[in-house]
Structure 1
């Protein structure tokens, strides 16, 4: 490629290629930007920004989520802020809701349009970290001239999606840098931390949504996603993260129909299920009573003789 070819020319050439989009995810995003969204890579206008009243309304909708996310955003900023990076959180439409950046770097980021209320959806800004992450529902690194608009080629954006307790995408977590010397290797290091933070926010949000349930952490091949199940007092699974839904073959999105945890986790169940539950209840009562059968019977609301009969049937001894 001729080094004198402009960025816009390279973008448009890639979108005209029948095979480029199939070979490259970046080219596929460029193609969407031109063919689907009708954008011009030479457009120099600043990103659209919603009114303050509209931003307040969005923040109210996200209030609980942002309370959960805030300390994790702070921790991420402590790691990357000293290197001249900004930490941003958006809603599902790519509108920036919250930001962390140094006072010294704020003018530069605001000149790029990276500030609360700015719309960085792929529909409006073409290929970029926030918008492409939300469109493709995956982690992305958009490094400098991988951006669609020529005016954005000086920045690097590292993003990860965050999914809510119903398995639906709820936000994008972004770390952006406008440093000219930012390397792709450094981007990958930041990307690992962004993914870890996104997982922490997703997990904390899930636990908050099912605060009254028992949370089971399951194994998964996907290390960057939280694999959690929420189980109620009846041992019914009532919630699952997106990765848990995938791992256990549950509905991809929406509230779950309650199902026995044993069915989902592959544990033995059947005619002895109630017997096992009864045995566990008796064992717990005896443990709380330090083996005192009379006291355990009072806890269970049965007579002492009844408890002795149940213990015999369940194969439990007074000792």
Structure 2
């Protein structure tokens, strides 16, 4: 183990000395850890655990996200828990807020500091999946000695970003394990699962933000990316997920400046007032199963008026 630690420290030093940051995202993160944050791979960082009061305040602030994420975290843990993995939801500061793990493995993760209330930003502990995911805004896999600190080289960590209904990064979903036999291919599968779980959390947060809106899936891109639009009763887009915003070039608060869904998606729409009225009537008739009298009652007009508006005589 001592030889392994020394080998890791020498590898970090050599990569930084050779200026390999431009060729590797991991080495680029090592460079930030050393040059920007002043960390040393051989030294244990200062204690980055939050106080009870700070953690309580963070839990309160993150509660809506934690509640929305909990079912997905549990399903993900059912899939990966058997492989010695824990599942963590971390805040946008890199603090572990919620954690699922087997009690028999809790000691290993506690000893590694991968526990609720501990900060895992790059500035705190150097290269790691949670912190590097926050910096690079993308899914990240950091396998054992790819960590910056020698203290963390027993961990394999896999993270994916979670965005809110406005497309802002608000959390990180992490799967970590201390198992030594996790192959690169299997780590890739877990990364895919973690990314899919993060998109599911985003979709749940989006639905919760716009509970009465119609959800429209943006055509032309991977359905797994969760590119959704929230459309109101007037066919105006009042919300968009991050994937939808990126694909359609949207920005800003759409609730304050909504856009016609037809314009965004390039589909036909009513352009005359009478077209809109006819659409309302057509929907009422469809709801009434073709019964014109029932449709007229639902619209609050007489049957004769309904016929007149449809351009038919009684």
The reply to whether residue 162 of structure 1 matches residue 162 of structure 2 is: yes
Partner SS state of residue 50, structure 1: coil
Q: Deviations over 1:49-71 (max 9, x none)?
A: 00111111111111111111001
User: What is the CA RMSD across the aligned residues, in angstroms?
Assistant: 2.1
Distance 1:77 1:47, change over 3 A: farther
Deviates more, 1:280-289 or 1:203-212: 280-289
Residue of structure 1 equivalent to 2:267 = 267
Partner SS state of residue 127, structure 1: coil
Distance 2:64 2:55 in 1: 16
Q: Deviations over 1:193-231 (max 9, x none)?
A: 111111111111111111111111223535552111001
**Normalised by the size of structure 1, how large is the TM-score?**
0.91
Residue of structure 1 equivalent to 2:190 = 190
Distance 1:47 1:145 in 2: 21
Flag structure 2 segments of 5+ consecutive residues without an equivalent: none
Matches for 1:236-315 after TM superposition, within 5 Å? 236-251=236-251, 254-255=253-254, 257-269=257-269, 271-272=271-272, 274-312=273-311
How many Å apart are 1:182 and its aligned residue?
A: 2.0
Distance 1:106 1:220, change over 3 A: farther
Question: Residue 5 of structure 2 contacts residue 150 of structure 2 at CA under 8 Å; is this kept in 1?
Answer: no
**Normalised by the size of structure 2, how large is the TM-score?**
0.93
Residue of structure 2 equivalent to 1:15 = 16
Question: Residue 89 of structure 1 contacts residue 97 of structure 1 at CA under 8 Å; is this kept in 2?
Answer: yes
The reply to whether residue 80 of structure 1 matches residue 80 of structure 2 is: yes
Question: Residue 134 of structure 2 contacts residue 172 of structure 2 at CA under 8 Å; is this kept in 1?
Answer: yes
Question: Residue 167 of structure 1 contacts residue 254 of structure 1 at CA under 8 Å; is this kept in 2?
Answer: no
Distance 1:189 1:291, change over 3 A: closer
Distance 1:221 1:311 in 2: 39
Deviates more, 1:73-82 or 1:302-311: 302-311
Distance 2:34 2:161 in 1: 24
How many Å apart are 1:317 and its aligned residue?
A: 8.8
Distance 1:117 1:210 in 2: 31
Question: Residue 143 of structure 1 contacts residue 157 of structure 1 at CA under 8 Å; is this kept in 2?
Answer: yes
Deviates more, 1:45-54 or 1:156-165: 45-54
Partner SS state of residue 179, structure 1: coil
The reply to whether residue 108 of structure 1 matches residue 100 of structure 2 is: no
Flag structure 1 segments of 5+ consecutive residues without an equivalent: none
Distance 1:222 1:120 in 2: 31
Deviates more, 1:154-163 or 1:289-298: 289-298
The reply to whether residue 89 of structure 1 matches residue 89 of structure 2 is: yes
Distance 1:209 1:291 in 2: 35
Distance 1:301 1:186 in 2: 62
Q: Deviations over 1:168-209 (max 9, x none)?
A: 001100000111222222211111111111111111111111
Distance 1:47 1:178, change over 3 A: farther
Distance 1:184 1:14 in 2: 21
